[in-house]
Amino acid sequence: MRYKALDKSLYINNRTNFIKHLKPKSLAVFNSNDMMPTNADGLMPFRQSNDLLYLSGIDQEESTLVIFPDAENEKHREILFVKETSERIAIWEGEKFSKEGATAHSGIPTVYWNSEFEEVFKMLTNEAENIYLNKNEHLRADTTVETCDDRFRKDCKKKYSNHNYEYLAPIMATLRPIKSQIEINTLQHACNITEKGFRRILDFVKPGVMEYEIEAEFSHEFLRSRSRGFAYTPIIASGYNACVLHYIENNMECKSGDVILMDVGAEYANYASDMTRCVPVSGKFTDRQKDVYNAVLRVMKGATAMLVPGTKHAEYHEEVGRMMESELIGLGLLDKTDVANQNSEEPLYKKYFMHGTSHHIGLDVHDVENKDRAFEEGMVLTVEPGIYIREESLGIRLENDALITKDGQLDLMANIPIEAEEIEDLMNS
């Protein structure tokens, strides 16, 4: 792995919190993600299962974590299974975890090779009443490819049909939104790398530059900072492209007078950052562009102030909508009378601001969450209002990542320039 290993106390504490949610005599199994093929003998870059990573820190393919707090043999209460390394694997693929290395990294004393899994697992099922299995239940997930967890779940239920089965997703959705200090520090580091990339491109952007060239500048800065790269597919959208919410082609020329919307974020140690900034190609906003920009910025600041413990997500977004209505009226995009008479189920502001204001962020850029759960201290959310005026080929979105504290918020991107005048000054310095 490219990043510096996180302290194993993170994973030890995560497992301690996890077992509190299990029923007595329960066995939980977490599988690593598959190595996914491209064509011929090619493979996509490996990305570990976030739940397995969260509980063990093992960032390696063909790994399995078994947690069984009530196991009769104490050494079987936490077990890692990893692929057996060899001299040939070391020559062709590089170093893999030894048993001792896996223990040192995860804090799990008992490590077996994968070849021992069936025998050990069968023995453990004789003691267990409940088996917890994993499944991707993310609200945004649309999976068509069968995963390692999917295959294991079918095989396990077939072989051990007399057991009671439970799902791990609700537990992980409860635990992962509350970030520990190590996680917060790692998210902050990812945000700091993103800041380096943004400051780099402020010296680079000018009329005639291609969107993909800006993407390359970010990538350069991210990779040289020990990041694997972008936390998600970057959006570098100039002019009308900024009005396409998930524009990822990044293949157009940036023209004088246009504004570029950049939704990018570095990842570090599998933790994501998520930033959006808008800059004028020519180095200076027009009066109209600045008016729209500042309207979005005011909504962003107002929304951020509402990220406090106890706020409900739906109520929060509803209030942001009201702020946005006021700004759109001020910009001449909505009529005050029409807004007063609108259908509350279909608010008029959604013509220009059609997406959500915030999402959780962590090991996933859209981290697991329960939208019915009130905000709590330790949660990290994005704040990303936007105004998209297709008839003016102008899209403005601004986005920072904020930690909810007992006293309010800590903006993890506070050092990244966002005021229109500061951006102009930096681009023209």
pLDDT tens per residue, range 305-331: 999 999 999 999 999 999 999 999 999
The confidence score (pLDDT) of residue 95 equals 82
Tell me which residue has tokens 């609200």. 139
Q: What's the rounded Cα separation, in Å, for the pair 214 and 194?
A: 13
pLDDT at 210: 98
What is the C-alpha to C-alpha distance for residues 215 and 139, in angstroms, rounded to an integer?
29
Rounded to whole angstroms, the Cα distance separating 331 from 335 reads 10
Q: Phi, psi at residue 195, to the nearest 5°?
A: -60, -45
Region at 223 (left for phi over 0; alpha for psi -120 to 50; beta for the rest): alpha
- Tell me what pLDDT residue 44 has: 87
pLDDT at residue 225, rounded to an integer: 97
Confidence of residue 230 (pLDDT cuts 50, 70, 90): very high
Q: Average pLDDT for residues 213-238, to the nearest whole number?
A: 97
Q: What is the pLDDT of residues 357-390, one digit of tens each?
A: 999 999 999 999 888 999 999 999 999 999 999 9
The pLDDT assigned to 143 comes to 73
Region class of 378: left (phi > 0), else alpha (psi between -120 and 50), else beta: left
Q: From CA 293, how far away is CA 387, in angstroms rounded? A: 8
The pLDDT of residue 18 is above 80: yes
All domains of the chain, ordered by start, with CATH?
9-175 (3.40.350.10), 181-427 (3.90.230.10)
Range of weakest confidence among 86-95, 359-368, 415-424: 86-95
The mean pLDDT value for 113-128 works out to 96
Report DSSP letters for 8-66, one per residue.
Answer: THHHHHHHHHHHTTSPTTEEEEEEPPPPPB-STT-BPPP---HHHHHHH----SS-EEE
Question: What's the average model confidence in pLDDT over 211-239?
Answer: 97
Predicted local distance difference test score (pLDDT) of residue 131: 96
* Arithmetic mean of pLDDT over the chain: 95
Would you place residue 121 in the very low, low, confident or very high pLDDT band (cuts 50, 70, 90)? very high
Q: What is the pTM of this model?
A: 0.95
Going by pLDDT thresholds of 50, 70 and 90, the confidence category of residue 144 is: confident
Centroid of chain to Cα 90:
32
What's the pLDDT score for residue 92? 82
Task: List all residues 6 or more positions away from 81 whose beta carbon is below 8 Å from its beta carbon.
Answer: 63, 64, 65, 66, 111, 112, 113, 114, 116, 117, 120
Q: Are strands 78-82 and 110-113 parallel, antiparallel or unpaired?
A: parallel
Per-residue pLDDT, 89: 81
**What pLDDT was estimated at residue 268?**
98
Helices of type H across 144-235 = 148-159, 169-175, 181-202, 211-223
Strand partners, 303: none
